[in-house]
Structure 1
Amino acid sequence: MRYFFLFSLACGLLLAAPATAQKLRKTAAGSGLMEKGEKVGVWEYYATTRNGSQVITQKYDHSAGRLVFFRPFDDVLYPVSMAAGEWSRARVTHPVFFIGGDPELTTYTSRLSYPTVAESKNVQGRVVVTITVDTLGRASNQQVLLGIGSGCDEEALRVARSIPDQWIPARVGSRAVVSKIDVPFTFRLAGR
């Protein structure tokens, strides 16, 4: 740890005060600086392509609370609400993102408890939950878009509602807009 040394002529003492320690953290999902257990500065977030190479999907400045870079996405129409309660599909400058991208979001979506009924009936599959993200990046109105039943839909909703509000709202031009994102939850029994 670095120390700043202060010399006091009046007392003749040598004092040491610790500087703020920043440590570089690197995981499969991202890398950046940590300070006092919090992410600071610009973090890079990664994804793995089909051929196995790692690419940067996002750069997010945690100190300033803003998206710096995102990997271009498919040119498709996204559900947006330009006026309260009026939904339409539009081209966006960027869609809703979770800070850290899909690898970071997966740390939450994989926290499923397999429902006993689904396990006894050998129910497996994917539940898709749609989440509305407001202009401040807060999630609400989580709803099952595609379900498989046997308690899996309810479990996916429970987990979706527990995902922290670390969303970057969609933008049309420079304006943040209310939009929706579909989040998949996979239920797969071990060994089957």
Structure 2
Amino acid sequence: MKNPTLAGLSLLLTCAAFPGMAQKLYTSEWESGILEKKTKVGVWEYFSYTPSKRQVVVQRYDHTANKLVYYRPISETYYNIEVRPGQWTRRLVDQPPLYIGGDPALANYTTKLNYPSAAQERNIQGRVIISFTLDTLGHATNHKVLRGIGGGCDEEAMRVARTIPDQWIPARVGPRAVPVEYELPLTFRLAAP
């Protein structure tokens, strides 16, 4: 976790460096960057944790230029990509599709699941997988339930997946963006009594 004293010092230095401007350094456990009138500007860093609990930068995104500056490579993952209109093939991509802010930012939306009462009454638990297409501009379309568990969970997972803002960075093969099918798991787990 970031040192609050250092964050306060950074804020003080930022305000001193830009007197009269409504800019301030915002730092949390998951992100750090400059806010100008409550809008992210310049290059922001986004963090995650390794299995050994070490904080690492997973993305640097320039919100002024709307451009990915850096991402921490993840394990090789195959995606269904559209090679020609309507023709899909499974292959590795040079850059995977990324959500701006990384998994912690995406998790912010996936935790908004409302557990359906029918599923609770029937003790239904498990993982629903929603699939959708991310186009070359990072827009999500064609949402569908790839694997469901019933009890209203599938519909709830679909509702949440459709509310995720279009803040995706498209996948790339070489220098060009390519449409991919993205799979989003959403877990329904009952609290232990």
Q: TM-score range, shorter-chain basis?
A: 0.7 to 0.9
Q: What residue number does 1:55 align with?
A: 56
Task: Give distance in 1, aligned partners of 2:124 and 2:29.
Answer: 31
Higher helix share: 2
SS for the counterpart of 1:189 is coil
Q: State how many pairs are aligned.
A: 179
Residue number in structure 1 paired with 2:28: 27
Query: How many angstroms does 1:27 deviate by?
Result: 1.5
Deviation at 1:75, TM superposition (A): 2.4
CA RMSD of aligned residues (A): 1.7
Q: Which runs of 5+ in 2 are unaligned?
A: 1-14
- In the TM superposition, what are the counterparts of 1:101-140 in structure 2 within 5 Å? 101-140=102-141
Where in structure 2 are the equivalents of 1:14-163 lying within 5 Å? 19-163=20-164
TM-score by length of 2: 0.87
| Structure with bigger gyration radius | 1
Give 4+ residue runs of structure 1 displaced > 4 Å after superposition: none
Q: CA deviation at 1:106?
A: 0.4
Instruction: Determine what percentage of the aligned residue pairs are the same residue.
Output: 53
Is the 1:29–1:46 Cα contact (8 Å) retained in structure 2?
yes
CA contact (8 A) 1:96 1:180 kept: no
* 1:120 Cα deviation from its structure 2 partner: 0.5
Distance 2:28 2:128 in 1: 28
CA distance in structure 2 between the partners assigned to 1:151 and 1:139 by the alignment:
23
Q: Tell me what 1:9 maps to.
A: none
How far off is 1:191 after superposition? 2.6
TM-score by length of 1: 0.88
Q: Which structure's residues are more often strand, by fraction?
A: 1
